[in-house]
Structure 1
Amino acid sequence: MNAPTTASRTPFIIILILLLAITGVQYFFNFNGLTASAAMDQAQIARNVARGQGMATNWLRPIQMVSGSTRAGLNPFLSDAQIREQETILAGQGESLVNPEKFNPYALRDTRNAPLNILVEAAVFKVAGVHKFDLWSMTGSSMIYLPDRIVAGISCMFFILAVLSCYYILHQMFDVTIASFTCLTMILSNLFLQYATSGLPQMMMLFFFAWGIHFLSTALQNREEKRKFLMPLIYSSICFSCVCLTGWIGLWPMAGFLIFVGIRFKPHGLYCIPGLVILFLLLAYPVYINRSLSGGFFGTAYYTIFTGLTG
């Protein structure tokens, strides 16, 4: 390959300057706080993780309240009079109606959200010290909640990383023109900019998805050139598994990836096995937690995964 010239670096420099400038304007001037309920939900779970309380949510979710109370030994469908009667009988025996170790209505164990974005936010909260109670209050004349800015900043960081990754990957796969045009479309897209400061995990998902495609393309190229392609496939499997850990809806592209690898690489079906193993290893702990809390492999995340299919 020819060494990069000043002319070939110019489009990248322009893209980088536009990316930083427009993202900066969106973050510092157009951001008015988190508005997406899912982003707020993940942020308050991340706060609890940073405080050492685990993946606990302070949001009341009726379906999870019913499931949790049932598993704790309380029938949630009893009338108020019957519940009070049970409570009185158990109090006389020195017992409580609900075992708080199994079920705490004020800190439900979350089984809806994928953990990766929450854990990243929790780590940043811990480093910044925002997990401390005295810092979770509105101070000064600013009308924007400080932790909201931090959550939006994490989204912005992954938006920048995703765009730069797409530029590099498209430049490798095609040419500088396609890479520049695609990245300009992303930077100037109002929808992308809204996601960039939304606090939602989409930008993190895009980042891992882009690198999953890159490593898959590398594996295909290596195969055509009779070179080793197993390691790129493993890297691609890790990236697509991280997409799943960022948002459970990512299980669908992961399924497509495994089917494609199983068909495209011979012997058929053999090279999708490492991807399945990596997926199971990375999902083992979240699935175990969800099953122990809800009785199902994905808990209430089931309704996220199958939204639009099962009603």
Structure 2
Amino acid sequence: MSQPNSSGMSYDPAKLIRRALFFVLLAGLAIVSLFVTFKGLSSPRGMEQAQIGREIARGNGYTTKVVRPIALAQMKDANGKYPVLENLQDTYHAPLNPCVYAAVLKAADGGNTERWRMSERSNLYQLDRVIAATCVIFFLVSIGINYLLVSRIFDQTIGSVTALLMLSCELMWQLSQSGLPQMLMLMLFSSAMFFTWRAVENSEDNRSALGPVLISGVFMCLLVLTHWITLWIYIGYVIFAAVYFKPRGIIAAALTGMLALFVIPVVYFLYISPTGSPFGTAYYAIHNGLGAGEDSIMRTLSPAGEDLGLQGLLMNILRTTLLQISDLHRNFGAILVAPLFFLALLHPFKRPSLASFRWLILLMWVFAGIGMSIYGLREGEMDPNQIHILFAPLMTAYGLAMVSILWGRLNIPQSMHSLRYSHLIIIVAISAGPMLLSIPQNLKRGIQMEGFGGSFQWPPYFPKAFNRNLADNTKTKEVIISDTPWAVAWYADRTAVWLPKNLEQIGEVEKIAESQQTPVNGIVITPYSYAQDNILSTGSPNGAYGELYPLVYGAWANPGGSKNFFAIHSDFKLLFQRYPHAQPLFSYGYIMYYSSRTVVNPNE
């Protein structure tokens, strides 16, 4: 029985116990993910944004140590000369997430290289944990926002179950440890939807919706500044506002003007000024969906020969869209009821606001799907362009409501009261089961690896190889060419040029670096290149690495005691003479460093 307090309010002990258990589970999962099973950042784009944030925190402005050859070509075309490699302005990423990382890294003194240098006994770069903790905080805040929103739309039961399904969603935890901005995006999108729902309620009650819509618009604009692909969501949002809110057109015009106010200055200073293009280097990301792949175009100094797959464009987009639909369950984080949102579209909800709000969600999701079809989801549910996950909580809520409605029509007798919420228990068990059942094994593995210095994201990343071995053998003014420039920039804190397409372009990069008194010191090759594809296709003239296959696959000879392919191939004779000192940075050369001078391995 509830016990009244002095203010006249009552407390339900069972509810307090449930909430306490939820927060214990929340805290427990956060601690386990950050301190026991954590392997470091997993996403190249996450590492890139982290190192941009570090440069901002150092007072170097919106600059990057990851040099895309295509960006050099763009800037040369726009300005008549190649840009300075050191402190190169980034023209690829949307700015908000790196700026958030900059604030966090500034508070943590992340720019102090010596303070965050890895110890010889550790395999984890502690700034990885700082970045992941930031993402986890955004994730947990998103759970709270969605609980409040769904409880307002439906009831506390559906709100609570939605929060529990989010908390036990393995994909959301993986994204929070990747360094990608998806959890910040989830928080901003959820906040925008909270105020949009307030606007829908006001409109239903014949009250002004302008205030909540404008607040929602601010969050949506921040969402666009976090990832440019969310501009497609904004298009759907504005269309709904133009049709639904009165006076029609006024609010939509205000939202369009707000977007221009937020985006145009950013686009001008970050993109148009250095590259002459309003899309910057991010324009070429479209090759991920319509071309041979984003990696290929980003590595070239001569983009003229890289054509988009415009033949059969509509069929290609349709194919990608159908693939997205077939993978919806995974893209929604394997939450069982999220896809049932589409069934809820057929249900005649009695509340007009509830019925209208689902069409907003659908409209935004359709436009988001178009954007993802154009820009591609080559890495599946962990792709940087994957924004299905933003819709998962609200779609889950509608799916839960639909199942609850159907369950209620079974007319379960009062004597079987214990079955009242059994459908929700089954849904949570099926959705959360895989992650919860894997926790004991992950805990055991994490504790075991702690004795060896912790786990790491292998392949292709072994942070200590960069943070200690590579950094110890290079100077801050020197440049590294690598197939994983984001790892070199983030862990070694060195300027890294993405491995160009061919020998001629490698030579051009060397000339650029030499003319700026920041010479190329060496070339780093990791499994990112030689383990990502079939050797026959990757090493073919039209493959991902074309004529560079002796360099990329050179380390394969090491375990067998043979000579390195790079050292004996006639076409690479001159390049080998410039970088004759081969040093395995990890094991038998699974991460290989070809240096211009003798390498000192501190582990020997």
What range is the shorter-chain TM-score in?
A: 0.7 to 0.9
Residue matched to 1:309 = 374
- Residue in 2 that maps onto 1:54: 61
Percent sequence identity is: 35
How far is 1:298 from its partner? 2.2
Q: 1:158-202, CA deviations, whole angstroms, 9 ceiling, x for partnerless residues?
A: 011111111111111111221122121111111111112221110
Q: Which residue of 213, 229, 238 corresponds with 1:249? A: 229
Aligned equivalents of 1:106 and 1:157: distance in 2?
33
| Cα pair distance change 1:252/1:301, threshold 3 Å | same
Residue 157 of structure 1 and its aligned partner are, at CA, apart by 0.7
Task: Note the C-alpha offset of 1:277.
Answer: 2.1
1 or 2 for the larger relative contact order (CA 8 Å, sep ≥6)?
Answer: 1
C-alpha distance 5-296 of structure 1, shift in aligned 2 (>3 A): farther
Instruction: Give distance in 1, aligned partners of 2:89 and 2:9.
Output: 54
Q: Which residue of 2 aligns with 1:81?
A: none
Q: 1:293 aligns with which of 265, 269, 274?
A: 274
* Length-normalised TM-score, structure 2: 0.45
**Equivalent residues in 2 for 1:112-131 (5 A)?**
112-131=92-111
In the alignment, which residue of structure 1 is the partner of 2:159?
Answer: 179
Q: 1:191 to 1:4 in 2, by over 3 A?
A: farther
Name the counterpart of 1:231: 211
Provide the rounded CA distance (Å) in 2 between the counterparts of 1:4 and 1:112: 54
Alignment partners' CA distance in 1, 2:43 and 2:247:
46
Secondary structure of the corresponding residue to residue 163 of structure 1: helix
Give 5+ residue unaligned stretches, structure 2.
Answer: 1-7, 287-370, 377-604
* Aligned counterpart, 2:113: 133
Letter of the 1:297 partner, please give it: P
User: For residues 304 and 275 of structure 1, do their structure 2 counterparts lie closer, same or farther at Cα, with a shift above 3 Å needed?
Assistant: farther
Distance change (3 Å), C-alpha of 1:266 and 1:186: same
The correspondence for 2:150, drawn from 141, 145, 170, is 170
SS at match of 2:258: helix
Query: What is the letter of the counterpart of residue 255 of structure 2?
Result: G
- Structure 2 residue aligned with 1:17, among 3, 20, 24? 24
Q: Residue 41 of structure 1: which of 29, 43, 48 is its match? A: 48
Q: Aligned in 2, Cα 1:212/1:310: closer, same or farther, shift over 3 Å?
A: closer
Moved more, 185-194 or 267-276: 267-276
Q: Is the Cα contact below 8 Å between 1:20 and 1:160 reproduced in 2? A: no
Contact 1:154 1:199 (8 Å CA) reproduced: no
C-alpha RMSD of the superposition? 2.1
Q: Match for 2:256: what amino acid?
A: L
Aligned pair partner of 2:177 in 174, 177, 197: 197
Letter in 1 for 2:43: A
Equivalent-residue separation in structure 1 for 2:208 and 2:134 (angstroms): 36
Matched residues in 2 for 1:166 and 1:238: separation?
Answer: 18
CA contact (8 A) 2:42 2:177 kept: no
Judged with a 3 Å threshold, the aligned counterparts in structure 2 of structure 1 residues 72 and 261 are, in CA distance, closer, same or farther, namely same
* 1:304 to partner: Cα distance: 4.3
Aligned to 2:239: 259
Q: What is the CA–CA distance in structure 1 between the aligned matches of 2:181 and 2:175, rounded to whole Å?
A: 9
Matches for 1:21-170 after TM superposition, within 5 Å: 21-74=28-81, 103-139=83-119, 141-170=121-150
What TM-score do you get using the length of structure 1 for normalisation?
Answer: 0.85
Name the structure 2 match of 1:82.
none
Task: State the one-letter code of the partner of 2:75.
Answer: G
1:37-92 CA-to-partner distances (Å, cap 9, x unmatched) read 00000011111111111111111212111111223324xxxxxxxxxxxxxxxxxx
Counterpart amino acid of 1:67? Answer: Q
Unaligned runs of 5+ in 1: 75-97
Aligned to 1:282: 262
Match of 1:87 in 2: none
Q: After TM superposition, give the deviation of residue 219 of structure 1 in Å.
A: 0.5
Aligned counterparts of 2:272 and 2:235: Cα–Cα separation in 1: 21
* Deviation at residue 151 of structure 1 after TM alignment: 0.6
Are the counterparts in 2 of residues 15 and 183 from structure 1 also a CA contact under 8 Å? no
Task: Tell me: CA distance 1:214–1:67, structure 2 relative to 1, closer, same or farther (3 Å).
Answer: same
Which stretch shows the higher mean deviation, 2-11 or 56-65?
Answer: 2-11
Q: SS of the counterpart of 1:276?
A: helix
Q: Give 1 or 2: higher helix fraction.
A: 1
State the alpha-carbon separation in 1 of the partners of residues 9 and 189 from structure 2: 28
Call closer, same or farther: CA 1:170–1:310 in 2, change over 3 Å: closer
CA distance in 2, matches of 1:3, 1:261: 40
Distance of aligned partners of 1:105 and 1:279 in 2 relative to their CA distance in 1, 3 Å threshold: same
The Cα of 1:3 is off from its aligned counterpart by 6.3
- Aligned partner of 2:273: which letter? S
Q: In 1, are the aligned partners of 2:56 and 2:63 still within 8 Å (CA)?
A: yes
Q: Distance in 2 between matches of 1:56 and 1:307?
A: 27
